[in-house]
Structure 1
Amino acid sequence: MKSKRILVTGGAGFLGSHLCERLVRGGHDVICLDNYFTGRKKNVEHLMDFHNFELMRHDITFPIFVEVDQVYNLACPASPVHYQHNAVKTIKTSVMGAINVLGLAKRVKARVLQASTSEIYGDPTQHPQQETYWGNVNPIGFRSCYDEGKRVAETLFFDYHRMNDVDIRIMRIFNTYGPRMHPDDGRVVSNFIVQALKNNDITVYGDGSQTRSFCYVDDLIEGMIRLMNKDGFNGPVNVGNPGEFTIKELAEKVIELVGSSSMVIYKPLPSDDPRQRRPDITLAKEKLDWQPEIKLEQGLRKTIKYFKDNLD
């Protein structure tokens, strides 16, 4: 593939850092943009010696002026703990961030990919979720700043595409895990692993019967790059692992793999927490020739090793 100049917003975050690494090692010139609200410099410090990697501190709610061929828009806190910390800032990041990257793409005629989310489906009444499903979202709840912010971003992407012929891609990301997750981000995989490594009680919200589908980060990044470089297909497209597990099953698997003495304890389910979440990836298979390769146990082992090596 011909070398490109690529902007990754949120590039020092969990997903962004893996994407930057993959693109840098692929020979592309990469600008990693982050304001470090949830992103961390240590996630990309191993890339600083590469001549084709550049780090820029910037908040995407303000316009950005660079010359690039492609933009991956990953800038937004993605875990409930972080996106509820400052709900107004979260929705501004999604909405103003989308306007700013779309304005950039329009000016320099770049292709732009929006990292959207399975959260746009809300607490779904359709299972598994297909891209044609419009969702079941509470517009005024605690999660709304993220859910509705991402929904508005998708609206903006398609409006810029229809009105200004901006070359867009939209990817709906389902639960993803792997090395470089923030240990305090409140996501279920990192929560369970950190608690198990410390032999603390593992906290399950609700009765543990709610389900999630977990995609390892390497599989996710492969799908993202395939979507960006697929001509003639805008999306939206689900990218995630259709393997479905209850939260209780995940907790028990993490305890087993860590060899922990942790006990599972149960607490009340948070407001608007989805009962089921599983992607229909038929479209990703058909359009991108993509499906996940890494099984949950294999991915959990790699993630546990990362946390074991990096926990203070």
Structure 2
Amino acid sequence: MNSDGRTAAPFTRVLVAGGAGFIGSHLVDRLLALGADVVVVDNLQTGRARNLAHLTANRRMTFVEHDVTWELPKKLTAKPFSHIVNAACAASPPAYQADPEHTMLTNVLGTRNLLRVAEQHGARLLLTSTSEVYGDPEVHPQREDYRGWVSCTGPRACYDEGKRAAETLAFDFDRLGRADVRVVRIFNTYGPRMDPDDGRVVSNVICQALSNEPITVYGDGSQTRSFCYVDDLVDGILKLLAYDGPQPGPVNLGNPLELTVCDLIERVVALTGTASPIVTRPLPQDDPRRRRPDIELARSLLGWDPQVSLQQGLEATTRYFAQELREAPAFGFPGSDKQTALAAAE
């Protein structure tokens, strides 16, 4: 039972906004494997049709190209959903800063539109929020009750503050009994289907190493991140989506193994055998110095813990990018001369 006494339905018909994206497409795979009918809504601004290409013959998956800042078509919402996942928003700094107005509106208007659909159908909505709500944290590791250290006027604010506003909307709908919501705060995630040109540190480093291009380090590389493999993250998302207890508030999902960017580069260099030199660039504005999730709530609430080691995850991700390079060498792996300082942030 959830906080207002209702029992959540099983995954029957699920709407996944942003389902052609990196994380969203993996979630679609798992929902289909669980027997759900899945409707994917994506504007393909940062999502990629190739992430769903293997599902084109699956009759239980429907793809609708649509921007969630617009109300969903009535023909799409005529049949009820049991669950809704809002994973719609560019998540890498170069992408979300390319159109900051759209990023903010995707988080605010998009979340409102999806919450209204959840209200209409009595569906549970899960919002994919982010560790970015903690900003450049002064508390380490970051617990869910930490209110963050966010610049509300900086170049990352369209995303950071957009997600904070989306959380506000979600919990207001929940408090008013208008929708049953779950909110996950996602920390750095990596794995197959990452966009090789999205500017995140894992994709940057692996693609540069595979292409024997200079590997870019922003700042001195001492800033830390905690990297969670996408399969582990999706496990946690599904557990939270299915959780029927009292409203838990936001839940961190991420791997608490913390390492510096330089540590990551050393692992990738050893894995690929690259002879790529290291080049340095200035650290971007408001780039978090340290990031590590406290996941005690996820452990106690969901029985969730990451299972894939960093070595296993990096090997799988490197194989994926190597295959991408073999199949489409011209799609533009990120080289040191192709990215701005914005690219370091993830």
| Unaligned segments of structure 2, at least 5 residues | 1-8, 330-346
In the aligned structure 1, how far is the partner of 2:95 from the partner of 2:178? 34
Tell me how far 1:165 sits from its aligned partner.
3.6
What residue number does 1:157 align with? 170
What are the within-5 Å matches in structure 2 for residues 14-29 of structure 1? 14-29=22-37
**Number of residue pairs aligned between Structure 1 and Structure 2:** 312
Tell me how far 1:3 sits from its aligned partner.
4.9
In the aligned structure 1, how far is the partner of 2:143 from the partner of 2:233? 18
Tell me how far 1:124 sits from its aligned partner.
0.2
Residue 202 (str. 1) matches residue 215 (str. 2): yes
Q: Partner of 2:62: helix, strand, or coil?
A: strand
Q: 1:158 to 1:2 in 2, by over 3 A?
A: closer
Q: Partner of 2:150: helix, strand, or coil?
A: coil
- Which of 98, 105, 108 aligns to 1:92? It is 105
Tell me how far 1:170 sits from its aligned partner.
0.2
Q: Partner of 2:184: helix, strand, or coil?
A: strand
Q: Partner of 1:50: helix, strand, or coil?
A: coil
What residue number does 1:296 align with? 310
Q: Partner of 2:160: helix, strand, or coil?
A: helix
The question of whether the paired residues in 2 share the 8 Å contact of 1:244 and 1:278 is answered with: yes
The question of whether the paired residues in 2 share the 8 Å contact of 1:251 and 1:264 is answered with: no
In the aligned structure 1, how far is the partner of 2:300 from the partner of 2:33? 27
Q: Partner of 2:297: helix, strand, or coil?
A: helix
- Which of 159, 162, 174 aligns to 2:187? It is 174
Residue 217 (str. 1) matches residue 215 (str. 2): no
What residue number does 1:12 align with? 20
Tell me how far 1:166 sits from its aligned partner.
1.1
Q: Give per-residue Cα distances to partners, 1:219-251, cap 9 Å, x unaligned.
A: 000000000000024430000000000001101
What residue number does 2:135 align with? 122
Q: Partner of 1:105: helix, strand, or coil?
A: helix
What residue number does 2:291 align with? 277
The question of whether the paired residues in 2 share the 8 Å contact of 1:131 and 1:236 is answered with: yes
Residue 44 (str. 1) matches residue 44 (str. 2): no
Letter aligned with residue 25 of structure 2: S
In the aligned structure 2, how far is the partner of 1:189 from the partner of 1:91? 25
Q: Which segment drifts farther, 220-229 or 65-74?
A: 65-74
The question of whether the paired residues in 2 share the 8 Å contact of 1:18 and 1:221 is answered with: yes
Residue 246 (str. 1) matches residue 260 (str. 2): yes
Q: TM-score, normalised by structure 1?
A: 0.98
| Unaligned segments of structure 1, at least 5 residues | none
Q: TM-score, normalised by structure 2?
A: 0.89
Q: Partner of 1:56: helix, strand, or coil?
A: strand
What residue number does 2:282 align with? 268
Tell me how far 1:25 sits from its aligned partner.
1.4
In the aligned structure 2, how far is the partner of 1:192 from the partner of 1:3? 37
Letter aligned with residue 84 of structure 1: Q
What residue number does 2:342 align with? none
Q: Partner of 1:164: helix, strand, or coil?
A: coil
Q: 1:156 to 1:2 in 2, by over 3 A?
A: closer
In the aligned structure 2, how far is the partner of 1:41 from the partner of 1:29? 19
In the aligned structure 1, how far is the partner of 2:207 from the partner of 2:118? 40
In the aligned structure 2, how far is the partner of 1:3 from the partner of 1:125? 39
RMSD: 1.0
Tell me how far 1:44 sits from its aligned partner.
0.4
Q: Give per-residue Cα distances to partners, 1:16-58, cap 9 Å, x unaligned.
A: 0000011111110000110000001110010111121111111
Letter aligned with residue 62 of structure 1: W
What are the within-5 Å matches in structure 2 for residues 139-158 of structure 1? 139-158=152-171
Letter aligned with residue 132 of structure 2: E
Q: Partner of 2:98: helix, strand, or coil?
A: coil
Q: Give per-residue Cα distances to partners, 1:169-202, cap 9 Å, x unaligned.
A: 0000000000000011000000001100011110
Q: Partner of 1:30: helix, strand, or coil?
A: strand
Report percent identity of matched pairs.
53
Task: List 4+ stretches of structure 1 deviating above 6 A.
Answer: none
Q: Give per-residue Cα distances to partners, 1:277-299, cap 9 Å, x unaligned.
A: 00000000000000000111110
Residue 306 (str. 1) matches residue 320 (str. 2): yes
In the aligned structure 2, how far is the partner of 1:181 from the partner of 1:58? 21
